[in-house]
A and B are shown apart, each in its own frame.
Chain A
Amino acid sequence: MGKVIKYERDNIDTDVILPGTYLKLHDYDEIAKHAMEGIDPNFHARVKKGDFIVAGKNFGCGSSREHAPIALSHCGIKAVLALSFARIFYRNAVDGAFLLPIEIDETAYKKISENDELDINTEKNEIKNLTKNEIYSMKPFSDIISKIIAAGGLFKYKPD
């Protein structure tokens, strides 16, 4: 369970998720202090462990910096729920086991509001909105993505 931080915009790029100047940092918790600084300087102060980001299309476009999902994950973000993801961000999030990139549809995107409390069940592909008492569907992960997530990242995953 966690609360929603919602950005009603498409194309949230990795430069706003973690501005370039912080790519010099090596320590994950230091990196996390600057998450979303590009569009939301208060993000680090208000985010809590287990929270969710909800956003529009093409989340995580731009640079291949893995620092972007690392920053969000080390702030406590458990999953990003977006209409769609840019490829490298999605892959980094899964391979490094940093957070769950969950694709949602327009209905869920519209209905979920800032501060709503959500509970996500990836086995049932269900998103429960506890605040509004609603249930939305999520796009199921592909077989191999599920396996990598279950293993805890690419390096822990072993093919059958």
Chain B
Amino acid sequence: MPQTLFEKVWNSHKVTEIDGRTLIYIDRHLVHEVTSPQAFDGLRLNKRKVRRPDLTFATMDHNVPTNNRSLPIIDQISAIQIKTLEANCKEFGIELFDLHSPYQGIVHVIGPELGITLPGTTIVCGDSHTSTHGAFGSFALGIGTSDVEHVLATQCLVMDKPKTFEIRVDGKRKHRHAITAKDIILSIIKKIGTAGGTGTVIEYRGEAISDLSMDERMTICNMSIEAGARAGLIAPDDKTFDYLKGRKYIPKNYDDLVDSWKTELVTDNGAKFDKTFAINAGDIIPQVSWGTNPAMTSDVTDAVPYPDEYAKGNKSQEDAAKKALEYMDLKPGTKITDIKIDRVFIGSCTNARLQDLIEAADLIHGRKASPNVRVMVVPGSQQVKKQAEEMGLDKIFQDANFEWRESGCSMCLGMNPDILSRGERCASTSNRNFEGRQGSGGRTHLVSPVMAAAAAIAGHFVDVREWL
């Protein structure tokens, strides 16, 4: 029977069935400082070991400051969390990319860049954006701390088999640089909603997906969770195999593996998905979120919607839109391009890879940030930072008065020193515009790196197609 790519990965990782659920073998486990301490406590309490420390990799990214690394960490609670991860990795024999490692970075940026992420594998991490790794044709999903402990102890996870969801992005983007992977995924979430993918694993397919680079595919898969999906994946192709070739942790028999992946890791002709959605890339233009979840997003050419029009008769949607506009301090009918901003954040596991930084730098070259806007550029990893500096991107950003910082999750999630103040409005390349996400009372607009960079220069949103 023809199978989807996901079904093949699932079936090849089945260990056994238990009470109607499936025990799935986990190939790679990524660990960070925030969702792991209680899991290691649990292991100690029950005198358990980490079953496969060789398949487990750790870094610190969520709470780390992104200023000068030679300075001590002022926040003592964060410092303790970081030290705890160091001690746990030492005790349990897990490789750690610590704050002084040349490989430190956001866990979802370093996995692929070190070749830890591989096609056809199962990958978990105590972080919802683990879906990012699906860009390589892996089944990658976020788990909570109890499950982190379970995987540390057993290298397995008990799961119900998810449904399959095909999302086709056909056609070509009208403008390769102005219309980005971020605009594609925001357009999809806008249409299917924040629970549109619940219970499913999405496979992104179609011409516009094949056209994307690996960095861009990661942006797409990264936000699968914002549509409620368990995971998102893209079938690997030559771009995938070329990206991984020569990376630090790929297996010795990599070339042989590529040969088998080429034939095995595809959705068979005639395979049936449980659900299908299609969108044409030619219809997509730059996107800006206006509300407090990622589905509350508009075309840059639109105005902030009237709640009743947005809700189309759905009372709870209308209430949600009203609450969102109140929180965001926006009036319906305001043109998106008239919204002024205070801060810009270019970073996060969604958009802090080299291509994101190159595109933002190209756009602002020779321009300066609006004097009213504070701009942070936070590379996703030390490797991204190094490559960007070798290309001189740091100079371009600094000449424009953009801050060039050290790698980490930074202003994506409001748990390290990089936060918004109450009432501040931010154009952000991150993934969530939830209330208080970037700091209590902060207001987040989700955009692509080029849209964020353009907004930084203009002081308000602009249709970046006019600049490129």
**Residues of A near any B CB (own CB < 8 A):** 8-11, 13, 15-16, 19-26, 38-39, 56-58, 61-66, 84, 86-88, 91-92, 95-96, 142-144, 147, 153-155, 159-160
User: With A23-B63, A64-B35, A65-B144 in contact, do A155 and B150 touch (Cβ < 8 Å)?
Assistant: yes
- Whole-angstrom distance between the alpha carbons of A25 and B38 in the complex? 11
Instruction: State which of B16-24, B90-98, B203-211, B240-248 sits at the interface with chain A.
Output: B16-24
Give 10 closest A-B pairs by Cβ, nearest first. A92-B144, A20-B415, A66-B144, A66-B145, A95-B146, A64-B142, A64-B128, A20-B414, A15-B434, A96-B146
Q: Contacts A26-B37, A95-B144 known; A84 to B21 CB distance under 8 Å? A: no
Could you list 8 examples of A-B contacts with CB < 8 Å?
A: A8-B319, A19-B436, A21-B415, A23-B62, A24-B81, A61-B293, A96-B144, A147-B19
Asked, given contacts A20-B414, A21-B414, A62-B128, whether A9 binds B319 with beta carbons under 8 Å apart, the answer is yes
Q: Which of B119-150 contact A (CB under 8 A)?
A: 126-128, 130, 142-147, 149-150
The distance from the CB of A157 to the nearest CB of chain B, in whole angstroms, is: 9
Q: Are B437 and A20 in contact (CB under 8 A)?
A: yes
Binds A, one of B102-110, B193-201, B372-380: B193-201
* Contact present for A11 and B35 (CB under 8 Å): no
Q: List, in ascending order, chain B residues with CB within 8 A of A56's CB.
A: 316
Query: Which of A8, A10, A64, A144 is the most central at the interface, judged by chain B CB atoms within 10 Å of its CB?
Result: A64
Does B145 lie within 8 Å of A88, measured CB to CB?
A: no
Instruction: Name the residue on B nearest A13 (C-beta).
Output: B434
B42 touches A87 (CB 8 A): no
Name the A residues within 8 Å of B173 (CB-CB): none
Q: Check A86 against B228 for contact (C-beta < 8 Å).
A: yes
- Determine if B436 and A15 form an interchain contact, defined as CB atoms under 8 angstroms apart: yes
Docked Cα-Cα span, A141 to B352, in Å, equals: 41
Contact-residue bracket for chain B: 35 or more
Verify B195–A61 contact, CB threshold 8 A. Answer: yes
Interface residues of B (CB under 8 A from A): 18-21, 34-35, 37-38, 42, 46, 62-63, 75, 77-78, 80-81, 84, 126-128, 130, 142-147, 149-150, 158, 160, 194-195, 198-199, 225, 228, 230, 293, 316-317, 319-320, 323, 413-415, 419, 432, 434-437, 439-440
Which residues of the other chain, B, contact A63 by a CB distance below 8 angstroms?
Answer: 127-128, 413, 432
- The chain B residue sitting closest to A160, CB to CB, is B19
Determine if A84 and B19 form an interchain contact, defined as CB atoms under 8 angstroms apart: no
Candidates B146, B158, B316; contact of A10 at CB < 8 Å: B316
How many Å lie between the Cα of A86 and that of B293 in the bound state? 14
CB < 8 Å: which of B21, B126, B144, B415 contacts A144? B21
Q: Please name 15 further chain A to chain B contacts, defined as beta carbons within 8 Å, in addition to the given A10-B316, A22-B415, A66-B126, sorted by A numbering.
A: A11-B194, A15-B434, A16-B435, A20-B414, A21-B440, A23-B63, A26-B84, A61-B293, A63-B432, A64-B127, A64-B143, A87-B199, A92-B145, A95-B146, A144-B19
**Residues B293 and A96 in contact, CB atoms below 8 Å apart:** no
